[in-house]
Amino acid sequence: MKKVGVAILGLGVVGGGTYKILTEHRQKYIQTHGVDISVESVLEVRKERIHALGVDESKVASNISEVCSNPEVDIIIEVMGGVEPAKSYVLAALNAGKSVVTSNKELYCKYGYELEKAAKHNHVGLFYEATCVGGVPVIRALLDNLQGNKITSLIGIINGTTNYILTKMTNDGKSYGEVIKEAQALGYAEADPTSDVDGYDATYKLSILSSICFNKKIPYTEIYREGITNISPVDIAYGKKLGYVIKLLAIGKDSEKGVEVRVHPSFVRVNHPLASVNDSYNAVYITGDSVGDVMLYGRGAGALPTGSAIVGDVIYCATHTQHRYSTFENTETAAPDTKFITNFQSAYYLRFLAADKAGELSKVTSVLGKYGISVAQVVQDIDGNDKEGAVNLILVTHSTRESNIKKAVAAIDKDLTETRVAAVIRVVS
């Protein structure tokens, strides 16, 4: 029977979950896969975590060199997060001839090209299923099951924290500030939630996924990013009336005109499959030229869901001798011939605070018309007056260019003294 030794760098939430799965299911893997996977080393400074998980003290390493030089270790799992020291540790592992499994989306997004170069040079594997969408096997699906397709688009809810926050705001009518405090108290949001709520986390994941989907390097620096901190309960309520729910979406499209990649809040029609993805759940909606539409759905984070993805990579690595690498030239920057579309098309939800007098609506639509923007829906809420007597005027446009909206909004703010723009949110049909 083949024996495979594993080391885990970090026994936090995900590392602890991974350790539990590997130890509790060890006999199952022997029976089902014919491979004996054992945890031979851990690198963790917090003694309480070591004791809580019941790790044998003899398996606890004091530094990365000790892990890399251990002849019983074949695969090293990195679940530390952040760039350093994780990057140095992973490179040390690869250069020591160890295959690596990582859940570190920031590290892989920013330095995957460097890590893969080291993996290729040392003829070892580099696996990263757990970097994206928790326990949902989206990367394996793209690399194996959907590889016969030309993927034309993916739209995803790929950050559990923001999806939980927006779900609570939608269901309870609370403000962003109220919900973020609740999420932090429950452990759904970090003490510093910037990476999640400002869209960085989703941007890293979209970079990884869109590169695989479109077979070309999509650096995170090329992705338009906008977070959820300015989303208001007022707009969520009006969205409901119009038949929409609010989500932080990661959108990637590939066409003859170029690649379009963006992360931002969007109103989604209630009948769209992504509209019912709530709380910390994630989903990715993929369109291929042969398969059509496919949606993968599940837990987007957590000890066991993410641990499931990590262990899946460990088993795959343990049972395959031939390692695979990127299907595209994995470099730091995009290929010179890759064209990125920044002036993308979308429908838009616009909310204005306007003076409660005749003619204001026509003034707004007149400005929009100058920039080629036509209106699909209008709501004028005379019961929604603010303290100064202004009314909420809501318009949903037909599809138009991003640049047209920006110019029109700037013109309205500049030229209409009794109307101001309160919110601009993109709409996905």
Helices then strands, each counted (H, E), the chain: 15, 17
CB 408 within 8 A of CB 368: yes
47 is catalytic: no
> What are φ and ψ of residue 102, in 5° steps?
-130, 150
CB 214 within 8 A of CB 338: no
CB 342 within 8 A of CB 224: yes
Active-site position among 87, 105, 110, 205: 205
Q: What b-and-e string marks burial along 335-356, b requiring 16 or more CB atoms within 10 Å of the CB? A: eeebeebeebebbbbbbbbbbe
CB atoms within 10 A of CB 19: 25
The length of the chain in residues reads 429
- Integer angstrom CA distances of residue 384 from 133, 235, 351, 353, 392: 39, 12, 12, 10, 6
Sign of the alpha-carbon dihedral angle for 21, 24, 28, 29 = positive
Smallest CA-to-CA distance from 411 within 372, 379, 382 is with 372
Smallest CA-to-CA distance from 197 within 107, 245, 265 is with 265
DSSP 303-323: HHHHHHHHHHHHHHHHH-SS-
HSE-CB at 288 with a 13 A cutoff on CA atoms is 15
Please identify every residue annotated as catalytic.
Answer: 205
